[in-house]
Amino acid sequence: MIELKNVSVFYPKAKDPALKNINLAFKSGEFICVLGPSGAGKSTMIRTINALQPVTEGQVIIDGKDLAALPELKRREWRSRTGMIFQHFHLIPRLTVEQNILTGLFGKKKAFTTFAGVFSQEEKVKAKEILYHVGLEQMADRRVEWLSGGQKQRVGVARALMQEPEVFLGDEPVASLDPGTARSIFQLLSGVHDQNNLTTIINVHDVTLAKAFATRVIGLSHGEVIFDGSPEELDPMNLETIYGKALQA
């Protein structure tokens, strides 16, 4: 269980907090989509959860333990339990699909050396299985730079899966993709989520996707939670509260 208790984040020199007294709890099995206009605090919230962004006030509590109070090693351990996918993929373009997927294991390894000899046969077999699962079994040896956006994000998902994560975090993972491809990535995420009973928290721009896939929607505006409910409850009035005038633009 992930809990945010009275969490506020103030960036240095910023006039207003990026997050203002957030109180939320996320359980396994929940597929949460976070909506909100640009600047609402979505990325900041995701980063507090995987301990990339320290909180200024309040606590992020993982399975009863305050993340900030843990030794750095434990915080890193937590980070390796969270699979993260990004809008711009954050892959290594000149490496192959398979090599990129195997980098998902670096969080669990002691040191970064070279690829040769670092990964066990078992790990390579697992990478192949995951490749198959995300539909890239033909692409193992292809350099990532040659792939389409949708294929790159499949590699992103596969790399996260390699970590055997308990939590999937996505910071607008489909914002650079066309609507059909975006949907297919959400289908993949949703399948993986159900299969592994993950906690999935995804920042998303597209309300239709949130409605189609989320079990719970959070609306952020100016660093505050202004909606927390089921996708069915997300009516036009709520959407206007979340997005304000931006929705009509």
Ligand X SMILES: Nc1ncnc2c1ncn2[C@@H]1O[C@H](COP(=O)(O)OP(=O)(O)O)[C@@H](O)[C@H]1O
Does 165 sit near ligand X (CB under 6 A)? no
Candidate segments 11-19, 107-115, 183-191, 210-218, binder of ligand X by CB under 6 A: 11-19
Candidate segments 40-48, 113-121, 181-189, 206-214, binder of ligand X by CB under 6 A: 40-48
User: How far apart (Å, rounded) are the C-alpha atoms in residues 241 and 99?
Assistant: 44
- Among ligand X, Mg ion, none, what does residue 107 contact (CB within 5–8 Å per kind)? none
Q: Which is nearer to Mg ion, 43 or 100 (CB)?
A: 43
Angle between helix 121-133 and helix 149-162 axes, rounded to 10 deg: 140
Candidate segments 41-49, 86-94, 147-155, 230-238, binder of ligand X by CB under 6 A: 41-49
User: How far apart (Å, rounded) are the C-alpha atoms in residues 111 and 117?
Assistant: 13
Does 42 sit near ligand X (CB under 6 A)? yes
User: How far apart (Å, rounded) are the C-alpha atoms in residues 81 and 108?
Assistant: 9
- Among ligand X, Mg ion, none, what does residue 39 contact (CB within 5–8 Å per kind)? ligand X
Among 44, 48, 80, 96, binds ligand X (CB under 6 A): 44
Among 2, 4, 7, 18, binds ligand X (CB under 6 A): 18
Torsion sign (Cα): 115, 117, 119, 125: positive
User: How far apart (Å, rounded) are the C-alpha atoms in residues 81 and 167?
Assistant: 7
User: How far apart (Å, rounded) are the C-alpha atoms in residues 104 and 126?
Assistant: 12
Q: For 106, which DSSP code?
A: G
Q: Any idea of the CA torsion for 155, 159, 164, 165, to the nearest 10 degrees?
A: -90
Query: Nearest distance from residue 34's CB to ligand X, in Å?
Result: 8
User: How far apart (Å, rounded) are the C-alpha atoms in residues 172 and 205?
Assistant: 7
- Among ligand X, Mg ion, none, what does residue 40 contact (CB within 5–8 Å per kind)? ligand X
**Site for Mg ion, rule CB under 5 A:** 42-43
Q: Which is nearer to ligand X, 43 or 163 (CB)?
A: 43
Does 219 sit near ligand X (CB under 6 A)? no
Residues near ligand X (CB under 6 A) are 11, 14, 18, 36, 38-44
